[in-house]
């Protein structure tokens, strides 16, 4: 896919309302908090719990949920490696824009491949990007099977399903690892918020 088909016809427009001014108005920095892990590992649950706490603190936030974006922004994509890559590229670009707007973007995507997560990491300034690995054994995720997807994947109804018929490459440089089979939602939320504060995205 040609990422820039008209390189000589477009010019970046510099706005008078800068990121710094937006962040001053918001009272916090923008950033991207990227939750990764197997289906059923708790990514969306933790992301929305963190957003709820941030919202109560007066922060401007938005959660990009893996299923939700496929109803609109990425409704034209399937689950092949190429489509997964494009799905994450689009979300990475959206996260970058939200961070520039001074908003804390939280994303919940399986994002199974190192290369795709690195692509997104490289889109965003290093101080703005937090990768949270929601680590959970496959057997626990499958026992939860909150959406019935593992059952369907085992029955052959879903092709290229991560953990069953497609691989998941564990992060080797995550900002934080949460063992979601051992730590409850309240503690998970607390340690993610602590990391966000430690990185200077929200006031301590």
Measured CA to CA, the distance from residue 22 to residue 30 in angstroms comes to: 9
The residue annotated as part of the active site, out of 39, 44, 49, 111, is 111
Measured CA to CA, the distance from residue 115 to residue 142 in angstroms comes to: 25
Q: What angle do CA 45, 129, 192 make, to 5 degrees?
A: 40
Question: Would you say 49 and 185 are in contact if contact means Cβ atoms under 8 Å apart?
Answer: yes
Measured CA to CA, the distance from residue 33 to residue 120 in angstroms comes to: 11
Question: Would you say 32 and 76 are in contact if contact means Cβ atoms under 8 Å apart?
Answer: no
The DSSP annotation for 88-140 comes to: HHHHHHHHHHHHHTT-EEEEE-----HHHHHHHHHHS-GGGEEEEEEE--HHH
Measured CA to CA, the distance from residue 157 to residue 8 in angstroms comes to: 46
Q: Check if 111 is active-site.
A: yes
Catalytic positions, please? 111
């Amino acid at each position: 896919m040609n990422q820039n088909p008209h390189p000589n016809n477009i010019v970046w427009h510099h706005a008078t309302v800068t990121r710094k001014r937006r962040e001053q108005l918001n009272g916090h920095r923008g950033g991207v908090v990227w939750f990764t892990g197997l289906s059923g590992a708790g990514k969306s649950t933790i992301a929305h719990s963190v957003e709820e706490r941030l919202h109560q603190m007066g922060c401007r936030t938005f959660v990009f949920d893996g299923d939700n974006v496929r109803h609109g922004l990425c409704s034209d994509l399937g689950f092949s490696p190429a489509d997964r890559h494009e799905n994450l590229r689009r979300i990475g670009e959206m996260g970058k824009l939200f961070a520039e707007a001074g908003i804390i973007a939280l994303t919940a995507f399986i994002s199974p491949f190192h290369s795709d997560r690195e692509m997104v990491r490289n889109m965003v300034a290093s101080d703005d990007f937090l990768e949270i690995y929601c680590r959970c054994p496959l057997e626990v995720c499958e026992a939860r099977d909150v959406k019935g997807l593992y059952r369907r994947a085992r029955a052959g109804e879903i092709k290229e399903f991560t953990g069953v018929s497609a691989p998941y490459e564990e992060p080797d440089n995550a900002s934080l690892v949460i063992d979601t089979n051992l730590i409850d939602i309240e503690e998970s939320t607390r340690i993610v918020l602590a990391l966000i504060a430690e990185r200077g995205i929200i006031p301590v």
